[in-house]
Amino acid sequence: MKFIFGCLSVVLVFTVSCNKDFLNTKPLSSVSSEATWADGPLSQAFIYGVYAHLGYGGFEEQAMAAYTDEAMFTHAGRNINTFTQGTETPSNLAWMSDTYRWGPMFSAIRSANVAITNLPTSTFSDKVLRDRLLGEAYFLRAYYYQQLLRIYGGVPLIDKPYGLNDDYTIARNTYAECVQFIVKDLDMAATLLYGKSTQDGRASKLAALALKARVLLYAASDLHDGPTVKANSSVLGGYAHLELLAYPAGDRTARWQAAKDAAKAVLDSATGYKLNLSAPVSAVEGSANYQSIAMGGKSAIGDASAAVELIFQRSSSALYTQEDNWPLGGNHYGINNGPNGYHNWSGNTPIQQLVDDYQMMDGSKFDWSNPAQKAAPYTNRDPRFYASILYDGANWKPRPADVAGKDPANQIQSGYYDDGAGGTINGIDTRESVVENWNGSRTHYWAKKFIDPNPALADNQSNAQIIPWPFIRYTEVALNYAEACIELGQDAEARTWLNKIRFRAGMPAITASGSALKDQYRNERRIELVYEEHRYYDARRWMIPATTVGRGIKVIKVTAKLKPGKSPLVPYRNDTSVYDYTYTVVDNTENETRVWDDKMYYRAISRDEVNTNNKLVNNPGF
């Protein structure tokens, strides 16, 4: 055997040495760098790969809403409580999405750097395409860096792809340096993308301007002003590297002015969807407007002058969104979060604090001490409530075939109802449901926003419609502008834009000034942008998470008692002429007992990253 193998080895060596072409064989499963940057379509395909790091956006099974006072995650064991209870450590990280986690984001940045390095010397002939792709690469690098900046504070700024022999150890840059770097990239992107036609879900000049406005708004906020940080948090204020998290000093008014100017540039470049009203629309139209936006009914294509809402979104293009047969995740979102009585999983369910923050139709606060409101808490509320949240008695889609006979009225059943014989009928959407009793909502609410209302999709398990994830909305920019105006003492201008948003939703004008206006603004932003991953960042940059995450989880318990002389309805349906309903708010600590620890303002850099790069310093508290 040794002799045979020896002979074969000699023959192989002889054959290879005589056939030099063997060494020049091109791989059949990959494309060389030279070929990529010599061909326009291949270069474009590379940029699609950079977009792919956007993942599903916020349409993942666990949502960032569950880290805020918007939602509770129903299923235990997902490492959500590691965050909400403040027990995260560098070796025990709480759940994190790849859309902002350290490693995946730096992988995305490396891909963008490869494109930014190679596109200027690419040899394909289409200069318009080259500039557009380069502009997209600059935008995406800026987007991924702002994701890291929002989560970790200052991070290492890397503007070129590393080679095999490069030194990979690098220190974190200051917060100010990161903001400057991101803004420079976005200015470059806006210049390169100006006048370029683009596709739904791809970067545009308007998207670059809008992201710049967000970055500058955050930079002006409390969490990134050194003196304010020191006054509000001993954990952050005592950090030896405060410059990684905030501007240690400087002209904060100038920062607010820069944020205002950047937002105004966006507002002047396009017209918002139905933001030209002088009075509120009807409640029905207001709810329909809001639902239309959530379904992606209005979007921005490049720098079009028509009314826009979605400035940058997770696209439905099969070129870079087809993953595991769940395009975009927009349909999977319905399965993740819909009611268990529809064979859905009740994932990120609204908590009572969110429900209570929806105003009454006249603009007043909802009040449990008001007898009429307590008796009918889901009546006469902000129209956006009915487009965003499913509650006991809410009308919804026809049930799946195997459940239809149990609920021909097609109403959400999250309560417990008198059976007329001394017992209780458990609602078919409760955790005691006869349909599925393991995945009911613990809060007795469900998210309706982003779930396709098509009655033909009873179980939300069809790919019939792709719902886009809204990375940046025109309305967000309008809210950013209003906030900067408030901080600069320009209340009238702030009210103008807030009321444009409210009129579209069917809500009355805000008339407040000063601190009352700021409170109204913050609630308006909370309601308008609910479940869009803004509340997590807003609570932190305003330095109020002790009163958001820190106030725990409250849920509703709904019971129904038969009125005298009435018989139970079989099958059950919601009917106030037959039942007297009682709504009781209770605390819920089944999965987590929420507290707030100031170290959770920023996330821990993992122990592996710090061990790999000895120039990294971790965030305060870690």
At 462 the pLDDT is 58
At 200 the pLDDT is 80
Q: Where are the domains of the chain?
A: 34-280+290-313+603-612, 336-467+554-587
Task: Note the pLDDT tens digit of each residue in 108-147.
Answer: 999 999 999 999 999 999 999 999 999 999 999 999 999 9
Contacts 24+ apart (CB under 8 A), 332-337: 332/56, 332/59, 332/61, 333/59, 333/450, 333/451, 333/467, 334/450, 334/451, 334/452, 334/457, 334/460, 334/461, 335/459, 335/460, 335/461, 336/60, 336/61, 337/63, 337/446, 337/447, 337/450, 337/451
Structure tokens at 521: 């603004």
At 34 the pLDDT is 85
pLDDT over threshold 70, residue 318: no
At 193 the pLDDT is 97
Task: Note the pLDDT tens digit of each residue in 533-587.
Answer: 999 999 999 999 999 999 999 999 999 999 999 999 999 999 999 999 999 999 9
The set of residues, in sequence order, having a beta carbon less than 8 Å from that of 4 and lying 6+ positions away, is: none
pTM of the model: 0.92
Q: Give the CA dihedral 214, 209, 298, 201, nearest 10 degrees.
A: -100
Task: From 378, 348, 368, select the one nearest 443 (Cα to Cα).
Answer: 348
State what percent of residues in the chain have pLDDT above 70.
90
At 463 the pLDDT is 53
Task: Note the pLDDT tens digit of each residue in 152-177.
Answer: 999 999 999 998 889 999 999 999 99
Dist CA 184 CA 221 (whole Å)? 20
Dist CA 603 CA 148 (whole Å)? 10
Structure tokens at 25: 């064989």
The CA-atom distances, in angstroms, between 198 and each of 272, 304, 435 are 19, 10, 47
Residues paired with residue 310 on neighbouring β-strands, in sequence order:
299, 473
CB-based contact 304:271 (threshold 8 Å):
no
Indicate the angle between helix axes 127-152 and 175-193, nearest 10 degrees.
160
The CA-atom distances, in angstroms, between 85 and each of 67, 70, 409 are 10, 16, 40
Dist CA 62 CA 533 (whole Å)? 12
State what percent of residues in the chain have pLDDT above 90.
83
Cα(first)–Cα(last) distance of the chain, in Å?
A: 61
Dist CA 94 CA 83 (whole Å)? 5
Task: Note the pLDDT tens digit of each residue in 15-74.
Answer: 444 455 544 555 555 667 889 999 999 999 999 999 999 988 999 999 999 999 999 999
* Average pLDDT rounded to a whole number, residues 460-479: 84
At 268 the pLDDT is 97
> Average pLDDT of the chain?
91
Task: Note the pLDDT tens digit of each residue in 356-402.
Answer: 999 999 999 999 999 999 999 999 999 999 999 999 999 999 999 99
DSSP state of 323: -
The least confident of 63-77, 263-277, 404-418, 457-471 is 457-471
At 304 the pLDDT is 39
Task: Note the pLDDT tens digit of each residue in 191-240.
Answer: 999 998 777 889 999 999 999 999 999 999 999 999 999 999 999 999 99
Residues paired with residue 272 on neighbouring β-strands, in sequence order:
308
Task: Note the pLDDT tens digit of each residue in 244-286.
Answer: 999 999 999 999 999 999 999 999 999 999 999 999 999 999 9
User: Residue 459: which pLDDT band, with cuts at 50, 70 and 90?
Assistant: confident
Task: From 498, 487, 488, select the one nearest 541 (Cα to Cα).
Answer: 487
- What would the DSSP string read from start to end of 68-127? TTTEEE-SSSSS-HHHHTT--BTTBPPP--TTT-HHHHHHHHHHHHHHHHHGGG---S-H
Residue 346 Ramachandran class (φ > 0 left, ψ -120 to 50 alpha, else beta): left
Three-class HEC string of 515-578: HHHHHHHHHHHHHHCCCCCCHHHHHHHCCCHHHCHHHCCEEEEEEEEECCCCCCCCCCCCCCCC
At 333 the pLDDT is 87
At 316 the pLDDT is 60
How many degrees, rounded to 5, is the angle at CA 216 between CA 205 and CA 189?
25
Protein fold of 34-280+290-313+603-612: 1.25.40
Task: Note the pLDDT tens digit of each residue in 531-545.
Answer: 999 999 999 999 999
pLDDT over threshold 50, residue 403: yes
Task: From 444, 459, 457, 451, select the one nearest 393 (Cα to Cα).
Answer: 444
Q: Are strands 469-473 and 310-314 parallel, antiparallel or unpaired?
A: antiparallel
pLDDT over threshold 50, residue 4: no
Dist CA 300 CA 199 (whole Å)? 9
Dist CA 133 CA 231 (whole Å)? 45
Dist CA 490 CA 256 (whole Å)? 12
